[in-house]
Amino acid sequence: MSDLLWNLLSFVVAIGLLVTVHEFGHFWVARKNGVLVKRFSIGFGKALYSWRDRQGTEYVIAAIPLGGYVRMLDERTDPVLPQFHDLTFNSKTVWQRMAIIAAGPVANFLFAIALLWLMYLIGVPNIRPVIGQVQPGSVAAVAAVPAKSQILAVNGEKAEDWRAVSLLLVEQVGKPSAELTVQTEQGQQQSVQLDLTRWTFDPDTQSVFGSLGIEPLRPEVLTKISGVEAGSAAELAGLQVGDTIVAINGDVVTSWQSMVQLVQNSPEKLLKFTLERDGDHLTLDVTPQSRETADGFHQGFLGVSPTVMPWPEHMQFTQQYGPLEAIWVGMEKTWQLTRLTVSMLGKFIFGDISVKHLSGPISIAQGAGSSADIGFIAFLSFLAMISVNLGVINLLPLPILDGGHLMYLVLELIRGKPVSERAQELGFRIGSLLLLTLMGIALLNDISRL
């Protein structure tokens, strides 16, 4: 329950911020162009709190925090006295109206730049993208990607950390090949070509690295116990923090992962653990608890966590820049996120990625909660990504979105007169149907992942 509340709170904060920024873009440019804004609402439904400014704009915080809107004076929907004609949206030139409509998405892109600027001004701790192992028979193995090498670039674009590598690799979905530039353990640079013609990537079940057969280098995991969960099979059997697991049923334990695999394959089965405690060896009878997985299988669960060695200093670095340089980095990262979002939309349209991978509000809430749980920097990164997504999606040429309004205004420029009300109404209905269908698919996908 606490996780649910935390995710919900993080989601409300994230959506509230992003919607406020988006609508403020419309609001600010509308006022600069002499349009009277009647209402600036964050959320829909019943007003929880409202106030008015000297120019007559009503500001509203509404009960349903899933969007917002700016309502401008418009003779097509409001009775307007002749003396107030110049304050209406419809009285402005086509270029002014286009600027007002485009200001919302533009504000989201500028907000992403500001968030990323703040991130890199504070400093982002990172780990160098060094490959640990390459799985035999995988895409990476066929390309002869060397283990223990550091990835420097993907298709010539520099990648300093695993997140950058991940974003660049996801962009390659649907393409026949990709080039990795790596630096070997011996310090030599080389390029390898990944054949992606048979590459399959399921974002719901695997990482982009795992799908290519690349295992990132990780700190050494010892077989020494660092934590015991209260009420778990381990606590009931007498396992303690500081115990080192030496053997199970007489077989020597060579790694933590091999122990985990054995335990998972032994639900409610008696296992004899040989432990080292304070220099002495002892044997304890342990019966792993049984837990059902999402696939309906039963796995053993012990309730212990391992001791993980710290990252070597040469693997750690902090991406931190001065105020001016951080602006440029923020712009670069925002462009990369924008390009990736547009690319992924294209992959959905052309079938390179299935619509089953669309995410809705539940996934966004979980992402908001988990990023906020990690820390302030992670939450800023999450906000920047969603802000870019919101900006791109709003520019889609669907009549119910900003992009649809811009499309009608472009047609008005070409034709020299507005698109008929009937055509606009038909477009809004079709756009609403398409958008509701996509939202429904995304929500069903979210529910299926729970």
* Residues recognised as catalytic: 23
Which SS3 state, helix, strand or coil, does residue 7 take? helix
CB-based contact 76:97 (threshold 8 Å): no
Q: Tell me, letter by letter, the H, E, C secondary structure of 243-284.
A: CEEEEECCEECCCHHHHHHHHHCCCCCCEEEEEEECCEEEEE
354: left (phi over 0), alpha (psi -120 to 50) or beta: beta
* Letter string b/e over residues 197-213, b meaning 16 or more CB atoms within 10 A of that residue's CB: eebebebeeeebbebbb
Which SS3 state, helix, strand or coil, does residue 151 take? strand
Taking the C-alpha atoms of residue 36 and residue 251, their distance in angstroms, rounded to an integer, is 78
Q: Give CA 398 to chain center in angstroms.
A: 24
Contacts of 83 (CB under 8 A, 6+ apart): none
Dihedral of CA atoms 210, 212, 214, 216 in degrees, nearest 10, equals -50
What number of CA atoms fall less than 13 Å from residue 188's CA on the CB side? 5
What letter would DSSP give residue 130?
Answer: B
Structure tokens at 432: 């609403």
CB-based contact 302:286 (threshold 8 Å): yes
Q: Give CA 281 to chain center in angstroms.
A: 47
Query: What stretches of 52-188 show up as alpha helix (H) in DSSP?
Result: 94-122, 139-142, 162-170
Structure tokens at 280: 């002495």
